[in-house]
Amino acid sequence: MNYVIGIDSSTTATKAQLVDESGDVAAVASSEYSYETPQPLWSEQEPELWWNAATASVSAVLAESGVPGSAVKAIGLTGQMHGLVLLDDRGEVLRPSILWNDQRTAAECDEMRQRIGRQRLIRITGNDALTGFTAPKILWVRNNEPEVFRRVAHVLLPKDYVRYRLTDQYAVDRAGGAGTILFDLARRTWSQEILAGLDLDPAFFPPTFEGHETTGLVTANAAEATGLAPGTPVVAGAGDQGANGVAVGAIDPGVVGLSLGTSGVVFTATSRPAVEPEGRLHAFCHGVPDRWHFMGVMLSAAGSFRWFRDALAPGEDFGTLATAAGTVAAGSDGLLFLPYLTGERTPHPDPLARGGFVGLTVRHKRDHLTRAVLEGVAFGLRDSFELIRNAGSADLAEVRVSGGGTRSPEWRQILADVLDAEVRTVATAEGAAQGAALLAAVGAGWFADAATASAEWLRLDSPTTPGPDSAVYEKLYSDYSALYPALKDTMHSLSASAGP
């Protein structure tokens, strides 16, 4: 039996998933680490943590399964997107990585809009300048740490640092590269216009590859550290959301990948480099050739349910709460919940947006509040669906859901009714790592392309179809959509009065 490994370097752990030729997972291992917040709004991590965790996790899956390193035919990489890794001309790390959730770069986002022009930036890269992206982080280092910036020779993303340690090669996949917002979205490579407009040296940025293409071979040193065989191919892979999209089969237009974790992500492929005119959707290259994707992100999806449980029903089981909420009629007896507990990104890129219950009366009990939370998250996810439809992707026929929130049949039914679409649960716990492994399998020659591999490997549960409550939710969604514009000024005022 031959195998591939998907390595997922996330914000809190690096996972390795060993997968055989039939798509069955032979072993999974995870090695955890932390990140630092040296100042308010800052989020940093030492790149060495990713490498140490990658070697530990790969060694663990080989040991657990008894599979020799020589049986692993390719490695695929994925991980947290948008982080900044700076190396000098000897390949040494110059400073801790600035992560995707770092918020220090508001001034640099304004600088990008001023230098390039907001609409021109969106037209070329598919995105407005947001603090999470890589490009404003580079400008921040130049503006605030000039002694570090003078020594920069290479700019990498987190998973690409793991690639460098595995292969001694500098490379980036095109899905991850697009997430820097330094890419020409249509041309699927670095934008010379954007780099020139920001006065960034093109030599900083590595060659780009499609997700299944080989970027280097495991070196003797890396083989000794991991247990892999020297010369094992390492394919480009994709950022975590692109890899998850591959894993759930959101490769051709019409299939939507919906991840219902702490945050919520709506992901759908496009056959052309389409852009939402105001940049309210992320538009990136897909992890497969000749495909792009739209992505909407809400910041507190299942995180809203966790907040509710911890604040108002401590110790209760999530499933028990959701089952009780299922006894309440759709619409929660006139109660709506805004899920902006940590600000919002899509469709309102507003860090000062705030959550709330609207419509409370003495009739409402805890079960009403629970259902309102589940419905409010579903409405927030529908916002992304509406933007995607309006941007030209009208045929969203099937929604494939993953993440902890999808365990609840009540919540799955609410999602199907609010989205008015068939919902199917994907039977994989590690979507990003599975997607990276799948791209490795294509790179190893097991499949002609990622779509064929996904069709072969994907396991889907029975569908949840829209029911009669869809009509109820259609009216309520209009009411929900009116709340943010009506309350925005109040939200900002309350945020200011609350202090830092």
Backbone angles phi, psi at 452, to 5 degrees: -65, -45
For residue 452, which amino acid is it?
A: T
| Phi, psi torsion values for 326, nearest 5 degrees | -65, -15
Residue labelled with tokens 């069955």: 24
**Closest residue by Cα to residue 458 from 443, 437, 444, 475:** 437
240 flagged as catalytic:
yes
Which helix or strand (DSSP H or E) is residue 17 part of? strand 13-20
Q: What pairs with residue 293 in β-bridges?
A: 269, 284
d(CA 223, CA 448): 28
CA angle 24, 258, 495 (to 5 degrees): 135
Phi, psi of 47 (to 5 degrees): -60, -30
DSSP sequence for 45-61 = E-HHHHHHHHHHHHHHH
Number of neighbouring beta carbons within 10 Å of residue 466:
18
Out of 240, 367, 383, 469, which one is annotated catalytic? Answer: 240
Tokens standing for residue 189: 């490579």
3-state secondary structure of 25: strand
Q: What is d(CA 259, CA 254) in angstroms, rounded to the nearest whole number?
A: 16
Give the list of residues 6+ apart from residue 290 with CB closer than 8 angstroms, or none.
Answer: 271
CB 76 within 8 A of CB 438: yes
Q: Which of 399, 407, 408, 447 is nearest to 427 (CA)?
A: 407
Instruction: Note the Cα 448 to chain centre separation in Å.
Output: 26
| Residue among 42, 30, 140 at smallest CA distance from 79 | 30
Amino acid letter, residue 155:
V
CB 237 within 8 A of CB 266: no
Residue count (the chain)? 500
- At residue 244, the 3 state secondary structure works out as helix
**What residues are labeled active site?**
240
